A and B are shown apart, each in its own frame.
Chain A
Amino acid sequence: DAMVIQNPRYQVTQFGKPVTLSCSQTLNHNVMYWYQQKSSQAPKLLFHYYDKDFNNEADTPDNFQSRRPNTSFCFLDIRSPGLGDAAMYLCATSRSSVEETQYFGPGTRLLVL
């Protein structure tokens, strides 16, 4: 059974048109992460939630926002997507501390036209 679910799997948007990606988890993990991965590059952490506490990485553009309305769900909002935002967006969870395994969802591939 899927433990970290991401919807949609593929998202096409227009330049400048806001888009929301969703992630849900059945693991009841405290920590949820959003990563951006471009072709042939390493996943790059954008931000994470520890419970309701939001932690933004210093170099994450303001164009990227996140919401976590409850333990199970976390959203990534891209307010004005640019061509450079086309990437795979990966959601991950971990139970608590960073030393623990992170479980990744299948990702949402975003295309910006």
Chain B
Amino acid sequence: RKEVEQDPGPFNVPEGATVAFNCTYSNSASQSFFWYRQDCRKEPKLLMSVYSSGNEDGRFTAQLNRASQYISLLIRDSKLSDSATYLCVVNTANSGYALNFGKGTSLLVTP
């Protein structure tokens, strides 16, 4: 079983739609959680860290459910510029400095 699993998509949504991605992780000792965004042929960039209490940044909301070992990302009022691959990233303390990346979920926002 992979350590971090995501639905690869693609998710095709119209502009203005709300879309949600989920990510599951296998190691219950995982401590740090992030969502990164990666545009085609570009480097990953941090979108937001995910905190236990959940957190919001503008149109983006991240939630963590430790009991069920999943993380979610909600994007409201989708923009064309949101089209990208969204990577779920998890760190486990006993893995040292290794961040475990999911393969990413592809989002395409259409006019």
Residues of A within 8 A of B (CB): 31, 33, 40-45, 48, 50, 55, 57, 88, 90, 94, 98-99, 101-107, 109
A29 to chain B, nearest CB (A): 12
Query: Which residue on A lies nearest to B2, using beta carbons?
Result: A42
A98 touches B43 (CB 8 A): no
What is the total number of residues of chain B having a CB less than 8 Å from a CB of chain A?
23
Q: Cα distance A48–B93 when bound, in Å?
A: 15
Task: Find residues 1-48 in chain B having any chain A CB closer than 8 Å to their own CB.
Answer: 4, 8, 31-32, 34, 41-46
B79 to chain A, nearest CB (A): 23
Known: A40-B103, A90-B43, A105-B43. A33 touches B97 (CB 8 A): yes
B45 touches A99 (CB 8 A): no
A108 to chain B, nearest CB (A): 10
Q: Which of B4, B41, B45, B49 has a CB less than 8 Å from the CB of A104?
A: B45
Known: A42-B87, A104-B44, A106-B42. A98 touches B99 (CB 8 A): yes
B46 touches A101 (CB 8 A): yes
Q: Which of B32, B44, B91 has a CB less than 8 Å from the CB of A43?
A: B44
Q: Cα distance A64–B31 when bound, in Å?
A: 29
Query: Which residue on A lies nearest to B101, using beta carbons?
Result: A42
B103 touches A31 (CB 8 A): no
A99 touches B97 (CB 8 A): no
> What are 13 A-B pairs with beta-carbon distances under 8 A?
A42-B101, A45-B97, A45-B99, A57-B98, A94-B97, A98-B96, A98-B98, A98-B99, A99-B32, A104-B43, A104-B44, A106-B43, A109-B41
